[in-house]
Every structure is written in C-alpha cells, then in structure tokens.
Structure 1
Amino acid sequence: MAPRQAPSYAWPGHLVRPQTGQRLVYLDLNHWISLAKAATGHATGAQYAPALAAVRVAVASGRYVFPLSLTHYMEMVGILDPRQRGDIAAVMEEVSGFSTLLSRTAIMRLEIEAALDRVFATTSPHIADINLLGHGIGHAMGKRGGLYIQSESRDVTSEVRAKWPGGLAVFDAFLADAHLQLERGVLRGPTDAEVPDLQARGWDPTATRTIAEQRAESERQQAERLDQSPEWRNRLRDIVQARYLTLEVINILNQALIDRDRNIDNVFTDRESGRAFTESMPSANIHVALVEAAHRNRDKSWEPNDIFDVDGLSIAVPYCDMVVTERHACHVIRTARIPQGMQTEIVPRLSDLTVWLNGQLAD
C-alpha cells in the first residue's frame, strides 16, 4: 500500500477528551491475555511479567488509563473456558478499573457531524457533548451507565435512596457493590453452572459473533467481486471508502443531513470531495486503511476476529496515546502514515509498551 500524506482531520468538538492530562493506553485482547498469563503464573507468562509490573506502576501513578472498548466485551464472549475468561477479566478489572471508551457508533456519529460542519462551515449545537472516557459496559455501548431503580417508566432511585433502611450511606454502598458485581459479571461471562438458566431466559452468547460473521461474509463476497473484476483493484481505496459510507454510516449521515436541511449531493460533488470527506473522519480513515490492506492480500480469508480488530482499532488509534496491537495492523497503520496526523504511538509487543512506560515514568 503506497504511503499517503496524513489527511486534515475534522476532530469532533463534541467528543470530550479527559481533562486530567492522563494518557490512554489501548491493548488488544491478545495482550490482555498475555498479562493474565503473567498474573496467574502461567507456564508462558514469565516473559510478560515485566510488562505487567510496568502497567501496574503506570496505573498506580494515576497518569495512565488502560480503557476497554465494546470490542473487548464482544471478544470475551467468544472465549469458551470460564476459568480463562475469569483470569483475563480479573486483570482487566485491576488495570482498567472498568474505564471504557465511548462506543464506535457514537464516535462515528460525532465524526460525521464534525465532517459536515467543516463542509458547510457550520456548527452542530443540536449535539450534546459526550465524554470519550466513561465507566463500564453502558458507556462502551453508548448508553447511560450505572444501576437505577425503575418503577414502570420512571427512575425512582432517589426516592428509594431517601427511604432506605440504614440511611443514605448504606444504600450507596449497596448500589455501588451491585454495580461492581454487574460489571464483573458482564466482563467475565457466566460460569458453566450458570449457562443453562441463562439460556432458558434467552441468553445467546453467539449473537455478537454472528453479526461479525455476517460482516466478514460481506467482505468475502467483496473479495470475490474484486477477483472477478481485477481492474477495480486500481481504485480499491475508493471502493473501500464507498462501502464504509454505505454499510457503516449511511443512516447516521442521512439523519445529520436532514438535521441541516441538506442532501448528500451537497457533500459529494466529485470524487475528490468524497475522498476528502471520508478521510477527514479519524475512525473512518483507520477502518479504510485496514480493510484496504486486507483486500490487497488476495489470500486473505476474512474471519469475525478481523471485524473485531478493525472496529477496536478504528477508535483506539485516533483517540488513545498508545496502542499495542498485532504486528500486521501496526505495519499497515504506520505505512499509511496515519500516526503522523494522530500523534499516537503504535507498537506490536508488550515489551515495546514496557520500554515506553518506563521511559515516560522516568521523566
């Protein structure tokens, strides 16, 4: 893939970054698994012990946050061994404290708004500010987090709290513990003994993977079309960008245009304007770079994990300070010169993270 100049990004002004000066470090699931091996004394875990030690020091310093994303929760469901899930979840809880990145869908919406604001020289006052960093699975899904007590369609938490036996402090402790247990349960998933009852209540652990499989199949079909019409490979980036717009964000884009009393022809006046619009959105640019690179490899066999990787990295790379991912993705993103415009460090090994953290903490 030929190097490109870093585009000029329309960073979403309504996405509120942490104001504390903390640096965000994103680990893909494989690296969380490695840290869990170190924490549990696994036979192959000793090589990751220095990284775990550095991560713990970084967390204790208060200067670093290691957030989870919705992708992590979805990938954890695919791990069948409850003990392994529990080991990984324990390290994730210790290190992340259940800090989570805002959902990819919510970020895409804010990026669409910012890109349209640039095109039309407008602002988007109809959009409320949203924090990039939040707590728990609710924030990772783009929803209101926490536990609340409902009566029919009304939130009665404050009323119940005021009448709670033992007083406000007892209620707050009860709710905090219930929230903690919920977060732990969602991340680690059920034990084998809990599965039958959950399945009887309609729980389906394959749902997220089924969606990822459908998206992977769509990419397999696209690869077949490219093989049948190889001349289109000369415009592969345009094709991937067009598919991103039509498959990933078209509903968000259409609604944002309606809100502005505009239509899509006002945005895409020619090929270059379409490219510029898509490339101005940071997460879109990561998505397109990774998918384009995958389609350039004619031997590529798309799997659900590839979809998870693209989704996770598309929000981690633009909005975190350090990303530790697998070697190929690291190469693709670096080759595309994307980090230059995002000021993000991207490395393939936990040992690289250890060096980076130790250097940072020594300053």
Structure 2
Amino acid sequence: MLRVYLDQNKWVDLARAATGHRLGGRFGDALALARAGVAAGTVSFPLDMYRYWETSKRGDNRSRNAVVDVMRELSRQHTMALPFGILDEELDRALQRRFGRPAQPRRQQVFGVGLRHITEGRMNWPKLDLNMLPDGGLSLPDHPRAQLNHEVTESIEEHLLRAGPATLLASGFDHAASDHGQRFVDFENTLAAYIKENHLTKNGVEQAVRGTDFIDIRPALIEALEGIGVTYDQFMSNSTVADLMRFMDDLPTRYVTNVLRSAKHRQTQQKWEPNDFIDIVALPVASVYCDVIITEKQWIHQMRQGKIEQQYSTRLLSDAADLVEVLVDSSVI
C-alpha cells in the first residue's frame, strides 16, 4: 500500500477541488485519482495528531467540515503514531547497532486506525449501553452488537475530527491559551542567539542543534540504556562528541528533525514562527515512514538538502497536483 502524507494546506487544496472552489480546479485530477486508489485499497492517506489539531483551529464551520469530509473519505481513519513511541523503537535499534543489544527492540506500530491508535489506547470511548432494550441487550446477536459498537466508534471519531474551536472551548480547551508554538519559538530564538554570539557556521550549527535535541531525548535515552544494563554516565564517558553526533543521526525521525532545524538556523533571514512547531514535530515521522510526503516548498527544499529522499526512499513534493504523476507512476489505481 502506498502511503501519502499531506500537510494541512494540501488537504485544503483537495477540499477546494471537492467543493468546486475556484482555486481547486487544478487539483481535480489529483482528487479523482486519490479517490480511485483509496477505493481500490492500494493508497492510504494517514492522518496524524497534528492534522486533528490544525483542523480544529478553523473557526468557520463550513470550510472546516469541507476539509474534514475529504480527510474522512481519503484517510478512512488511517492514522499515524505519535513521535514519542516511535523514538523508543529507534533508540533500541540504534543501541542494538552500537552494543549488540537489546536482543528484541521495542516495537511501535506506526500505522493504525483512529485516535485510539494515535494515543496508544489512552483514549477510551463510552461503552455501548443496551440497558434500554427489554432484556438489556442479552438477546442481541454478536454480529449486530459488533456492528453497533463499530457505528458508535465511527460516530465518535467523526465528531472529534469535526470539532472546532467553539466545541473544544466548551469542553475546557482553548487553542488561544496553548503556548506550545510560542515556547518553541522562544527556545529556537535562544539557540539562534547562542549560534550568532559564538559565530557558529556549518558543523558548529549542526553540533549545537543536535546538542539541544540530545538534551530533549535524554529521559527516553536513559530508559533505553537501562534496558540493556548501561548507565547514562557509562554511555557518555565512552562517547566523543563525534560519537554522539553519529548516534543522533542514527535515529531516523530525530535526524529529519535536526535537518529541518539546522537548515532554518543557517538561514537567519527566516524568522521562527509558532506554526513551525507543528511542521517540525509532524514532518519527521511522515518523512521516514510514508512513501510520499507533500508539504511546503521550504521544508521540501531543506529535506532534499539533507538527502531525506535517498536515505528513506521517500518522495518529496510541494504541489498536491503532482499526486497525479505519483499515483500513475506507482500503478496503484
């Protein structure tokens, strides 16, 4: 199955094609072929947590639901795991390559179905309540019972994807109060100031970026090291700076993360924006584990500079209309 990841603007392009919007005409063929591939079961358009997040920020109900309609049709609720669980497996595999253990690295199923897959089962739906039936549902055969459970799950999944800012605010969550993006910008601006103050270029920037990311993954690394009987101090005492750089680059999703961060730090004319946070956390998993990724030109350029296409055999595109060529070339329709 060909897995294609679309960032938010590309979903909007296909939604415009689906609704006959004046800006959607050039994406009509791409949408038609995508629909054919999904119907044939040969193409998957998985959603990640950040597609739910970005979609829920759209205040206009009509435009948000137009995007959701296309998302549900093409994704069929196929979803991708969060980066954190994937990092655990990548750490185990990197340690196995370095130390020969663990013998059995932890496994993370990257692709699955629904929000419960994304959240690794931490979200629980209300159970089907059949108490209103005369016998409490005891006489209901297994197949209809399973079908009812499926319909309830589908209804909840759809409701969660369609939820907008007003619905979330009524539930106690305020998008405007979430400062993840701004905290990310503040952190990267602090790092940028350090890079400038110390006149770092090329390898110096790479080392600084990977150094901060190493600090970020330290708790996960300590846990992984404990699993093979190595302490963090032992790991550090036997590692040079070059060793640590290579170790970070041996973690696929972190490699992509740091390719994107390093590239932006080298281009000082481009300021960090809160929206960059979503791209920096979302794109690495898709870039490593999907077959095709379609996102903004700036990120595609930076990933190509970092040899992501060659390293992970991922096709990188910036125009949703190019889906036509991708699907025809892949013979999946």
Common fold: TM-score over 0.5: yes
Residues 186 and 200 (structure 1), Cα distance of their counterparts in 2 relative to 1, 3 Å cut:
closer
The 8 Å contact of residues 238 and 275 in structure 1, kept in 2 or not, is answered as yes
Say which SS state the counterpart of residue 242 (structure 2) adopts.
helix
Give the C-alpha shift of residue 191 in structure 1.
Answer: 7.6
The correspondence of residues 40-79 of structure 1 with structure 2, limited to 5 A, is 40-79=19-58
CA RMSD of aligned residues (A): 2.5
- Give the fraction of aligned pairs with identical amino acids, expressed as a percent: 27
Give the C-alpha shift of residue 28 in structure 1.
Answer: 0.9
Say which SS state the counterpart of residue 130 (structure 1) adopts.
coil
Residues 320 and 252 (structure 1), Cα distance of their counterparts in 2 relative to 1, 3 Å cut:
same
In structure 1, how many angstroms separate the alpha carbons of the residues matched to 2:165 and 2:300?
35
In structure 2, how many angstroms separate the alpha carbons of the residues matched to 1:78 and 1:117?
41
2:198 aligned with 1:219: no
Partner of 1:29: 8
Partner of 1:339: 309
Partner of 2:225: 257
Give the C-alpha shift of residue 291 in structure 1.
Answer: 0.3
The 8 Å contact of residues 112 and 256 in structure 1, kept in 2 or not, is answered as yes
Give the C-alpha shift of residue 174 in structure 1.
Answer: 2.2
What amino acid does structure 2 have at the position aligned with 1:96? S
2:79 aligned with 1:100: yes
The 8 Å contact of residues 102 and 228 in structure 2, kept in 1 or not, is answered as no
In structure 2, how many angstroms separate the alpha carbons of the residues matched to 1:337 and 1:331?
10
Partner of 2:325: 355
Residues 35 and 200 (structure 1), Cα distance of their counterparts in 2 relative to 1, 3 Å cut:
closer
Residues 357 and 255 (structure 1), Cα distance of their counterparts in 2 relative to 1, 3 Å cut:
same
The 8 Å contact of residues 77 and 189 in structure 1, kept in 2 or not, is answered as yes
Q: Which of 169, 179, 184 is the aligned partner of 1:210? A: 179
Q: Which of 112, 116, 121 is the aligned partner of 1:138? A: 116
The correspondence of residues 146-165 of structure 1 with structure 2, limited to 5 A, is 147=125, 149=127, 163-164=137-138
The 8 Å contact of residues 58 and 361 in structure 1, kept in 2 or not, is answered as no
Give the C-alpha shift of residue 199 in structure 1.
Answer: 3.6
The 8 Å contact of residues 14 and 24 in structure 2, kept in 1 or not, is answered as yes
Specify which structure has the bigger relative contact order, considering alpha-carbon pairs within 8 angstroms and separated by 6 or more residues: 1
In structure 1, how many angstroms separate the alpha carbons of the residues matched to 2:104 and 2:122?
21
Partner of 1:188: 162
The 8 Å contact of residues 59 and 65 in structure 1, kept in 2 or not, is answered as yes
Deviations 1:187-236 (A, max 9, x none): 111485xx3xx6454233346x4223212221122222223332366500
User: What are structure 2's unaligned runs of at least 5 residues?
Assistant: 130-135
User: What are structure 1's unaligned runs of at least 5 residues?
Assistant: 1-21, 152-161
Partner of 2:89: 110
Partner of 2:145: 171
Deviations 1:3-55 (A, max 9, x none): xxxxxxxxxxxxxxxxxxx1211111110010001111112111111110111
Partner of 1:84: 63
What amino acid does structure 2 have at the position aligned with 1:210? D
Give the C-alpha shift of residue 298 in structure 1.
Answer: 1.1
Residues 113 and 169 (structure 1), Cα distance of their counterparts in 2 relative to 1, 3 Å cut:
same
Say which SS state the counterpart of residue 175 (structure 2) adopts.
coil
Say which SS state the counterpart of residue 267 (structure 1) adopts.
helix
The 8 Å contact of residues 330 and 346 in structure 1, kept in 2 or not, is answered as yes
2:300 aligned with 1:330: yes
What amino acid does structure 1 have at the position aligned with 2:223? Q
In structure 2, how many angstroms separate the alpha carbons of the residues matched to 1:362 and 1:67?
16
The 8 Å contact of residues 82 and 191 in structure 1, kept in 2 or not, is answered as no
What amino acid does structure 1 have at the position aligned with 2:141? G
What is the TM-score when the length of structure 2 is the normalising length?
0.90
Task: Count how many residue pairs are aligned between Structure 1 and Structure 2.
Answer: 326
Say which SS state the counterpart of residue 346 (structure 1) adopts.
strand
Residues 316 and 163 (structure 1), Cα distance of their counterparts in 2 relative to 1, 3 Å cut:
same
What is the TM-score when the length of structure 1 is the normalising length?
0.83
